[in-house]
Amino acid sequence: MIITQKKPVEELMGLLGEAKRVAIIGCGSCATACHTGGDPEIAELKTYLEAHGKTVVATAVADYCCMNLGVKGKVKPLMAAQPDCIVCMSCGDGVQCVANNASVPVYPSNNTMFLGEAVRFGQWEEACHLCGNCVLGQTGGICPIAHCAKSLVNGPCGGQKNGKCEVNPENDCAWILIYKRLEALGQLDKLAQTREDKGYRDVSYPRTVSLRGKKS
């Protein structure tokens, strides 16, 4: 899941500037789960904007703001309401997808934080850096790229104290977690295996994946 956080509303108001007629689009997937772009948050923002001199001309929730085809159908009626701008309550990808389908400015209401998981209600943790060359098979299903502050792939640095990371003592040392998991799985031998340096050649942005064989 893509984890998002609401921007301070003052920042959003600054983005809206003189725009009077505002349309709002939320997202039915990750942002709904993060309480940053579902029906309740849209209603809350609508109330706030109308209390601050704006007119909310239309609202919509796309199932996924990151899917171009679905978004196109949701943006059309928003544009028909002739907004000065659209506020998109999704992740950064959703904002771009909506912007590609709108002819007025599209502003984000959220900051996009990371790809992670809902550990428990109301708490999300970063879990994957989308590095493009997954090492989880060697590391007991715990990602050292995302969980180690230095993204170390060959084992820990010397900087842990009582199993906690020197960079943020609230975080566990990723490599100690990996060690404990592999020990429990009877796979400590995996730590002795040397890892080939995967380099960064394949991580030049922006990346594309196409089942059609080429970028369309």
Interface with other proteins (CB under 8 A): 149-161, 163, 166-168, 175-176, 179, 188, 191-192, 194, 197, 200
Q: Residue 198 CB, nearest distance to other proteins (Å)?
A: 11
Q: How far is the CB of 111 from other proteins (least distance, A)?
A: 18
Give min distance, CB of 5 to other proteins, in A.
20
Residue closer to other proteins by CB (options 5, 154) is 154
Amino acid identity at 104: V
**Among the listed residues 34, 40, 46, 38, the one whose alpha carbon sits nearest the alpha carbon of residue 9:** 46
CB of 97 closer than 8 Å to CB of 67: yes
Report in angstroms how near the CB of residue 208 gets to other proteins at its nearest: 24
Nearer to other proteins (CB atom), residue 192 or residue 209: 192
- Lookup result for tokens 């943020």: 168
Q: Which is nearer to other proteins, 37 or 144 (CB)?
A: 144
Three-state secondary structure call for residue 76: helix
Helix (H) or strand (E) holding 61: strand 55-62
Q: What angle do CA 107, 110, 115 make, to 5 degrees?
A: 125
Q: At what angle do helices 68-80 and 92-100 cross, to 10 degrees?
A: 60
Closer CB to other proteins, 91 or 177, in the complex: 177
